[in-house]
Amino acid sequence: MLSPVLLSFFAITDWNAPPPHHRPPTPPLQGITLKLRYNRAGHLFEFPILLSSSPLDWPTLAGAYLLPPLLYLAGRDLVVGPLSRGIAARR
């Protein structure tokens, strides 16, 4: 027969804890992070980059929101657009 102490130990450790495959491998970063996501063969890889440890750093927060779309637009208009037009002109 199991003692009450052993039963309560099993209840706390086995039933209340999430399964090992649902636990995050590392604790989440605290502050302003930029998450780069890469999808390959149906798997999603996330690469968090800690920009600032303080969540109240307004210039870093504004840069984290504004720079990725601006870099995308600049790359599309200044790099990809001229390359695709040059390739189309050679054909």
The dihedral through the CA atoms of 44, 48, 49, 54 has a sign that is positive
Q: Which of 79 and 50 is assigned the larger pLDDT? A: 79
31 band by pLDDT with thresholds 50, 70 and 90: confident
Count the domains in the chain.
1
Give residue 31's domain range.
4-90
Torsion of CA 24, 47, 43, 72, to 10 degrees: 140
pTM score of the predicted model: 0.50
45-67 pLDDT per residue, tens: 988 888 888 878 888 888 888 88
> What is the average per-residue pLDDT within 21-45?
76
pLDDT of amino acid 23: 57
Three-class DSSP category at 56: coil
Q: Which of 28 and 38 is assigned the larger pLDDT? A: 38
